[in-house]
Chain A
Amino acid sequence: MDWLEEELKQALARKEPDPGFDARVQRRVSRRPAAPRWLAAAAAVLVIAGGGAIYRRHQGEQAKQQVMLAMKIAGSKLNEAQARIQAIGERQ
């Protein structure tokens, strides 16, 4: 057998934890203080407010683009009319 394969087999071999490992983990978990409820509520409010602000900004940017496009279209058509009037005036 290849030495590398042997090394890997040993390194990855299943090992049983020390006795009392489970109890130690349980103890440590129970010692950890639970996050207060107000913190969870505040986080939720922040997420909702942030999401609302992002959505509002997106809506605003969209409205801005539409306003600019509308101005471009209306402006170009008015200029067309002006150009034609001017061309007729020049011909006369």
Chain B
Amino acid sequence: MKLIVAGCALAAVLFAQQFKFNLDHLAKKSSDTVDLSLDANLIQLGAAFLNTKDPDQAKAKKLVAGLQGLYIKSFEFKRDGEYSPADLDQIRAQLKAPEWARMVNVSNSEDRESVEVWVRTENGKMSGVAILAAEPRNLTVVNLVGSIELSSLSDLGGNFGIPKIPKKK
């Protein structure tokens, strides 16, 4: 019975999540792990508790309004090389065209840092975002499920203590 319940729960998570992370093996090696898994119900519940008088929380409430899922895994390591390029490759392999398209891919071979932003579209409408950010001692994978406007995404900058990068004219 427990197995069936666990199976249903896992199926529900995988159904909502747009790709599998398959990164659990890194949790043992990491010094800090953030594992967030919020479905539509939890996002709604959390949003109901956000205080719109607080500018950060008001922004967050607006941003999550169109989300059906929020999945993040972030690992902090004490040493370099604790994860392999294959860990990211197996995620990239799931982000297939025509649904997924890589919007941004910035990498610095000197610092061995990279950030990729993938966007999923369905019927001409954005239905998800994937962010893969890799540094020698940090690996973060994000999947935002739902309708997210690009302007809302860029609005993330300048909030939560993150310095906003001025747009050039």
Interface residues of A (CB under 8 A from B): 59-86, 88-89
Looking at chain B's contact residues, the main secondary structure is: mixed
Question: In this complex, what residue of A is CB-closest to B157?
Answer: A79
Question: In this complex, what residue of A is CB-closest to B42?
Answer: A63
Instruction: Report Cα–Cα, A18/B36, bound state, in Å.
Output: 71
Q: A78-B117, A86-B165 are in contact. Are A60 and B48 (CB under 8 A)?
A: yes
Q: Which residues does chain B contribute within 8 Å of A61, judged by CB atoms?
A: 49
> How many residues from B make CB contacts under 8 Å with A?
43
Is there an interface contact between A74 and B42, defined as CB atoms closer than 8 Å? no
Instruction: Report Cα–Cα, A65/B115, bound state, in Å.
Output: 25
Instruction: Report Cα–Cα, A75/B133, bound state, in Å.
Output: 12
Q: A63-B43, A67-B43, A70-B36 are in contact. Are A75 and B131 (CB under 8 A)?
A: no
Most chain A CB atoms below 10 A, which of B36, B117, B165: B165
Q: Does B106 contact A (CB under 8 A)?
A: yes
Besides A61-B49, A68-B57, 16 other CB < 8 A contacts? A63-B38, A63-B45, A63-B49, A64-B47, A64-B50, A66-B38, A67-B43, A67-B46, A69-B34, A71-B64, A71-B159, A71-B160, A78-B154, A79-B165, A82-B154, A86-B165
Is there an interface contact between B72 and A74, defined as CB atoms closer than 8 Å? yes
Q: In the complex, how many residue pairs between chain A and chain B have their CB atoms under 8 Å apart?
A: 111
Contact with A along B125-166 (1 / 0, CB 8 A): 000000101000000101010000000011011011111110
Q: Which residues does chain B contribute within 8 Å of A82, judged by CB atoms?
A: 154, 157, 165
Q: A78-B153, A86-B168 are in contact. Are A59 and B45 (CB under 8 A)?
A: yes
Q: Which residues does chain A contribute within 8 Å of B157, judged by CB atoms?
A: 75, 78-79, 82
Distance from A44 Cβ to chain B, minimum over Cβ atoms (Å) = 26
Most chain B CB atoms below 10 A, which of A63, A78, A81: A78
Instruction: Report Cα–Cα, A75/B164, bound state, in Å.
Output: 10
Question: In this complex, what residue of A is CB-closest to B132?
Answer: A77
Q: Does B95 contact A (CB under 8 A)?
A: no
Q: Which residues does chain B contribute within 8 Å of A81, judged by CB atoms?
A: 104, 106, 115-117, 131, 133
For window 19-35 of chain B, which residues contact chain A by CB distance below 8 Å? 34
